[in-house]
Amino acid sequence: MKAEQLLGYRKPWVLVDNVLTLKGNDRIVAQKLITSSDYFLQGHFPQYSIYPGMLVIEGLKQSAELLFALTAQAPPGRVRIRSLTARFAKPLEPGDTVTFDVMRLSGEEGLVLTGRAAVAGEDVVRARFTMEKEDC
């Protein structure tokens, strides 16, 4: 399933390529291929291109939005990150395929999630974040 069809973003701001697995109402596994032609890598350390860490967090957020869209488990409309704790283990480089594994925590108030971004099973980022409905 193509993520772009479900998210309200347009390229280049769609940071999830595909949904791999939807596990119940509380977990999603999605994927993004990092390529050297990605807009964000142009000029970002030209001799040693790395994918910006903030965009990895945005990929986790978009994965959570896909979880909400596919399971109708959140209020309709846009959501934003209200609080975030993240640990970055290593940078992403062109050619990496990052897997986003996001899980909604049961028993927690609000939209509390944990997320893991990994390349070939090795952690790149681990995060815990709370989301809320965006006021427009």
Delineate the domains of the chain, giving CATH numbers in brackets.
3-133 (3.10.129.10)
User: Which candidate, 15, 6, 7, places its Cα nearest to that of 40?
Assistant: 15
Catalytic residue numbers? Answer: 44
Residues paired with residue 82 on neighbouring β-strands, in sequence order: none
In this prediction, residue 32 carries a pLDDT of: 95
User: Which candidate, 31, 134, 109, 21, places its Cα nearest to that of 71?
Assistant: 21
In this prediction, residue 76 carries a pLDDT of: 61
pLDDT string in tens for the chain (136-residue length): 567 778 878 888 899 999 999 998 899 999 999 998 887 777 667 678 889 999 999 999 999 999 988 887 766 667 788 899 999 999 999 999 999 999 999 766 668 999 999 999 999 999 999 988 777 5
Please tell me the distance from the alpha carbon of residue 113 to that of residue 26, in angstroms, as a whole number: 9
Instruction: Copy the structure tokens of residue 36.
Output: 């050297």
Q: What is the DSSP string of 8-67?
A: S--TTS----EEEEEETTTEEEEEEE--TT-GGGTTSSTTS--B-HHHHHHHHHHHHHHH
> Phi then psi for 12, rounded to 5 degrees?
-90, 10
Instruction: For tokens 């040693």, name the residue.
Output: 48
